[in-house]
């Protein structure tokens, strides 16, 4: 895989009277699904190893890491037949092996079995340490329902009482991570809630590409703009590993990237090739940016009640029916 490295973080607004934190070097792998599980795991492990060789301390992988993306068609009567146990399935086992082999934290994504009557499972992100410890587990909150992305027929939404967890792994010197997933990246409420909980970087494992009902419409530029903008208003780094390649029903457009709280894209991948991205994160940037533009402290939550109201039946685009 091609390795693309941005090793010099852009200058922050750091004040001279504050001791700077050392930069945090991270990596991500952009991959194409392979029907041969052994070949896929080998390529992913090589990508993780390449990032580790560049000094990355954590490596992040795309959505449903080891699986073909299933939701280009509606699920049948057994939607959870391809789901796996959280810590007793192939994805967790792979993450443990790769983390141990390369001495880094490994993030992956899986279709988690829920053992519910309707057969639906969870779309779950995990973070695993080199000793095999599960350091984080976050279930996708927002579930797509549109053609080509019929995820509502496979996944249940993560429960509200389990939303927005922030993890501070000691191996990353306590850097604060949130692990939402794909469709969550379009919602400014998600990044804001994580920011309010103290997250410094948000990692969005992603599977996005073509739109079957609008085949000539390229959403890639809009997708990146939204995520970068949400990072600006939340004061967070955005780490976005997407898959690439043609899986029949969909063609994924890669373009994985890492951006900072100032809206600068630190490093990005091509659309059509597998790649490894490595970047240094200046974690002081979050505080410096939110000191300059204090979005959190100047909020007006007393005016936001409409955000918690359900959509009015018959008025899905807002307003009254």
Coil/strand/helix, residue 281: strand
Outline where 66-170 has alpha helix (H): 90-102
Tokens 């967790």 correspond to 92
140 catalytic? Reply is: yes
Q: With contact defined as beta carbons under 8 Å apart, do 5 and 156 qualify?
A: no
- Output phi, psi for 247, to 5 deg: -110, 20
Query: Which of 63, 84, 268, 274 is the catalytic position?
Result: 63
Residues 299, 148: Cα–Cα separation, whole Å = 37
320 catalytic? Reply is: no
CA angle 127–101–57, rounded 5-degree value: 50
182 catalytic? Reply is: yes
Residues 164, 125: Cα–Cα separation, whole Å = 12
Query: Which of 182, 193, 268, 274 is the catalytic position?
Result: 182
Coil/strand/helix, residue 76: coil
- Taking the CA of residue 295 as centre, how many other CA atoms within 13 Å lie in the half-sphere pointing to its CB? 21
Q: List Cα–Cα distances, 140 to 143, 157, 160, 221, in angstroms.
A: 7, 6, 11, 23
Query: Which of 41, 96, 112, 140 is the catalytic position?
Result: 140
Outline where the chain has alpha helix (H): 37-53, 90-102, 188-196, 220-234, 284-292
Among 175, 239, 241, CA closest to 24: 175
The count of other CB atoms within 10 Å of the CB of residue 47 is 26
Residues 115, 135: Cα–Cα separation, whole Å = 23
Going through 121-204 in order, the beta strands assigned E by DSSP cover: 122-128, 134-139, 166-167, 177-178, 201-203
Tell me which residues are annotated as active site.
63, 140, 182
């Amino acid at each position: 895989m091609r390795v693309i490295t941005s090793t010099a973080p852009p200058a922050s607004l750091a004040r001279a009277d504050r001791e700077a934190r050392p930069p945090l070097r991270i990596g991500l792998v952009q991959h194409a699904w392979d029907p041969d599980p052994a070949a896929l795991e080998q390529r992913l492990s090589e990508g993780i190893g390449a990032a580790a060789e560049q000094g990355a301390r954590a490596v992040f992988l795309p959505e449903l890491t080891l699986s073909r993306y299933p939701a280009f068609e509606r699920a049948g009567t057994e939607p959870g037949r391809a789901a796996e146990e959280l810590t007793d399935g192939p994805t967790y086992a792979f993450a443990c092996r790769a983390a141990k082999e390369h001495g880094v934290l490994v993030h992956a994504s899986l279709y988690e079995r829920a053992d519910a009557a309707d057969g639906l499972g969870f779309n779950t992100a995990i973070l695993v340490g080199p000793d095999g410890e599960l350091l984080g587990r976050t279930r996708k909150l927002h579930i797509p329902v549109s053609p080509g992305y019929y995820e509502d027929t496979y996944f249940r939404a993560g429960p509200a009482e389990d939303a927005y967890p922030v993890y501070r792994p000691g191996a990353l010197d306590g850097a604060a991570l949130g692990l939402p997933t794909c469709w969550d990246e379009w919602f400014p409420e998600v990044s804001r809630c994580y920011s309010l909980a103290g997250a410094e970087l948000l990692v969005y494992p992603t599977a996005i590409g073509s739109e079957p009902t609008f085949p000539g419409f390229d959403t890639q530029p809009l997708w990146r703009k939204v995520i970068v903008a949400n990072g600006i208003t939340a004061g967070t780094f955005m780490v976005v590993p997407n898959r690439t390649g043609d899986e029949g029903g969909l063609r994924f457009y890669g373009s994985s990237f890492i951006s900072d709280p100032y809206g600068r894209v630190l490093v990005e991948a091509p659309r059509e090739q597998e790649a490894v991205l490595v970047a240094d994160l200046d974690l002081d940037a979050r505080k410096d940016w939110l000191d300059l533009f204090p979005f959190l402290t100047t909020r007006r939550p007393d005016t936001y009640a409409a955000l918690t109201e359900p959509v009015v039946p018959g008025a899905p685009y807002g307003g009254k029916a």
